[in-house]
Structure 1
Amino acid sequence: MLAVISHLLENKKDIPVSLVCSKRLEGEKEILPLSQLSLKHLQNHYDHRINLNLDDLEMAALIWQLYNGDNPQKLKALIKTKTNFEYLSSCVRAHLERFPNSITGLNALERNILKLVEKNNITSIGHLVGYTLEYQGYFGLGDMQIKRMLDHLHIFLDVKEDKVSLSKEGKEALNGTRNFYRELKNDECLGGVKKYDFLYDSDSHKILKL
């Protein structure tokens, strides 16, 4: 969305832009994505769309520029900025938490996967993919992205015929008694930087460059 808005601002400055945003429905515990809403609810969201002003558009373009830049820490300063994008601050915060934690080497979603394995009766990798999709929060990953992530986390999982549990390394990672940065490091990129060139400090919520 940020990329599209940045493109519109740069190339089609004279057209109106509005935001159709999915919100938590009455009686629902989770916010449903637009793809799962009924036509009635979609129409309601469209009727209550938000007209974006120039400040909104410029903020979206700035965040897209910083996302693709070489210093993700610059995004942190924008978390408390008020805009018409209701979930933007939460999404920026979630993006910063995709960098490896300075204590464990795992990021927030990777740690959450281990917590799901610890707390639930997971019978297969496919079962775990489903749980992760449902409880991933603001990350918005698809099933193939989750499967690749699970391949990356194989040393933390003990996979048997009808049971997925934490390995010894998985328990150490979840308990924070060992740092797995070296074992997990690869060339994956987040925005304009390599994921493992930075660390996320959960105490200060800062991104540290290695």
Structure 2
Amino acid sequence: MNTSILHITNGDSTTQYLQKLNFKGDFITWREMLCEGKTTSDVGSESFWKNRFEFLKNSYNVSKQKFINYTLKEYRNLCNQKKQEEIVLWFEYDLFCQINMLAVISWLKHYREGYKISLVTSGKVAGSDQFLGLSELSENQIENLYKNRVVLSQDDIEYADYIWQLYCSDSPLRLETIHGFNPMSPFTYLEDALKAHFLRFPSIENGLNAIENTILKTVNENKFATKQEMLRYLLANQKNYGFGDIQYIKKIDELKKLFTASFNPVKLSKTGKQVLDHQLNYYPQIRSESAYLGGAKKYSFLYLSDTKKLLKIAS
């Protein structure tokens, strides 16, 4: 019956599920997608939120009022929560959640020093290769995770903050070399999530990243009557990105010239097939100076598939 707990969750579905299961305490829902667009390390500052609003407005047509009501009001509520004895973080295994988790821990390091902070993470299910989100778990599964939650040490908090700082830097190269150097970390899924992050930089082979190439390959190998049918397939078969439909819709729109005009049925255009077969490099056509992954410009680096390393492009 302890009510001196603050739960910070990865999304509304988790919050609603925990409340349905009568978890005691106060709830904050972290409503951001910091894996997308430019980020700065000063989580919660005026410039941080201004930068995030500009990205969401320009990329997803989010209105100022919606941003205030959906994200900022919840953040301000978080700022007012200071009385609890423990802060419990609820985040999942995928890139989307892991980057948000780093940002929240960084904020807690700077604004809730000395508080007891613990972590509940969902992912691989025992006895199966299946990965599940928090709201997909049974009542027993989620209660067991909660019972066995990991209390973060100061070293854990410092480590998460350091990885966040590197994610927000203007180069991913140092993050690439250091992200796997902490095998004792309680952040079980962070290394794989960051590997997925590096794959989001354009490949040297055709200028598209792993997600974009997967979209083309999926269309080439399957028959989809409509764009919506393709979208459902992509969402169901993504690995550890954790993206929603709006991220994939935006990505498909950026690649629209690689599809035939109608999308009914969905087929690759001649150019799309050439790009997929590495006969044409699409980098010049898709390159954008405003595209960021964390603090780095997306098109200032190339991913080398043979070495699985990033290469900085000389400016």
TM-score by length of 2: 0.63
Q: Which moves more between the two structures, 175-184 or 44-53?
A: 44-53
Q: 2:294 is matched with which residue: 170, 191, 197? A: 191
Q: Whole-Å Cα distance in 2 between the matches of residues 7 and 181 of structure 1?
A: 36
1:141-194 CA deviation, whole Å, 9 max, x = no partner?
111111000000112222546421222122222222211001111221111122
Q: Whole-Å Cα distance in 2 between the matches of residues 208 and 66 of structure 1?
A: 17
Q: Whole-Å Cα distance in 1 between the matches of residues 236 and 110 of structure 2?
A: 36
Q: Specify the alignment match of 1:201 in structure 2.
A: 304
Q: Specify the alignment match of 1:4 in structure 2.
A: 104
1:104–1:180 contact (8 Å) kept in structure 2: yes
Moved over 6 A (4+): none
1:146 and 2:248 aligned: yes
Q: Which moves more between the two structures, 110-119 or 37-46?
A: 37-46
Q: Whole-Å Cα distance in 2 between the matches of residues 30 and 158 of structure 1?
A: 35
Quote the RMSD (CA, aligned, Å).
1.8
Q: Which runs of 5+ in 2 are unaligned?
A: 1-100
CA 1:151 to 1:145, structure 2 compared with 1: closer, same or farther past 3 Å?
Answer: same
Q: Whole-Å Cα distance in 2 between the matches of residues 14 and 97 of structure 1?
A: 36
Q: Specify the alignment match of 1:165 in structure 2.
A: 267
Q: CA deviation at 1:68?
A: 0.6
Q: CA deviation at 1:6?
A: 0.6
1:44 and 2:144 aligned: yes
Q: Specify the alignment match of 1:62 in structure 2.
A: 162
Aligned length in residues: 210
Q: Specify the alignment match of 2:46 in structure 1.
A: none
Q: Specify the alignment match of 1:130 in structure 2.
A: 232
Q: CA deviation at 1:115?
A: 1.5
Q: Whole-Å Cα distance in 1 between the matches of residues 270 and 104 of structure 2?
A: 44
Q: Whole-Å Cα distance in 1 between the matches of residues 291 and 150 of structure 2?
A: 35
Q: Whole-Å Cα distance in 2 between the matches of residues 100 and 172 of structure 1?
A: 16
- Sequence identity (%): 40
2:119–2:150 contact (8 Å) kept in structure 1: yes
Q: Which runs of 5+ in 1 are unaligned?
A: none
1:68-124 CA deviation, whole Å, 9 max, x = no partner?
101111111123221111111111111111111111100011111112112222121
